[in-house]
Amino acid sequence: MPFLTRILPIFLVSWLLTFTLASLFHSQYVVNQLVNVGVVVSLSDRINLSLDDWLGLLPTYGAIIAIALAIAFLVSAKLTKNIKQFNMALFIVAGITALAVVLIAIESIMNIHIIAGARGWGFYMQLLAGAVGGYTFSHLIKTARNPKKLGV
């Protein structure tokens, strides 16, 4: 039962943050490429594009990220039982690795960048989204184990 009440909500928050950042970074990378060739993009267009991308990518890229993070966090959780002092670092590396594996595997299998915003510096922004997700998961798990730190 602790899985459903404690770990699953923490995972969902971490995944949602990771996916939202990855989607936002993708959208803004694409818009930036348009701006670089002289297209004028208004703030409202940027916001609408970001929202449309978020909704459009959720069933596919969102699901892929969820699976990748679940595997990476499970492996990290097993490793942190033996290496407690590197707990947060392991989860951050797990988030980065999950996104890197997803993007490299998709490109290798399909021979295309299925996430247009994962080209060039956009690739590193996707990895940053994974790092933030790993940090968030680690921090929330630690906080759930020590509720006194929150004053609860």
**25-42 residue pLDDT tens:** 999 999 999 999 999 999
The pTM of this model reads 0.89
> Which of 77, 95, 96 is closest to 86 using CA atoms?
77
41-45, 113-117, 136-140, range with the lowest pLDDT: 113-117
Rounded percentage of the chain residues whose pLDDT exceeds 90: 67
Give pLDDT, residue 152: 45
Backbone φ and ψ for 41, nearest 5 degrees, come out as -125, 120
Q: How far apart are CA 135 and CA 10, in angstroms?
A: 12
- Average pLDDT estimate for 121-147: 92
Residue 89's Cβ-side half-sphere holds a number of Cα atoms within 13 Å equal to 4
Give pLDDT, residue 86: 79
Q: How far is CA 93 from CA 29, 37, 119, 126, in A?
A: 23, 35, 21, 13
2-6, 7-11, 43-47, range with the lowest pLDDT: 2-6
In 3-state terms, what secondary structure has residue 115?
coil
Residue 145's Cβ-side half-sphere holds a number of Cα atoms within 13 Å equal to 6
Residue 54: CB atoms within 10 A of its CB come to 18
Given a cut of 80, is residue 84 above it in pLDDT? no
Given a cut of 70, is residue 151 above it in pLDDT? no
> Which of 138, 137, 133 is closest to 25 using CA atoms?
133
In the chain the first and final C-alpha atoms are separated, in Å, by 21
Confidence class for position 90, pLDDT limits 50, 70, 90: very high
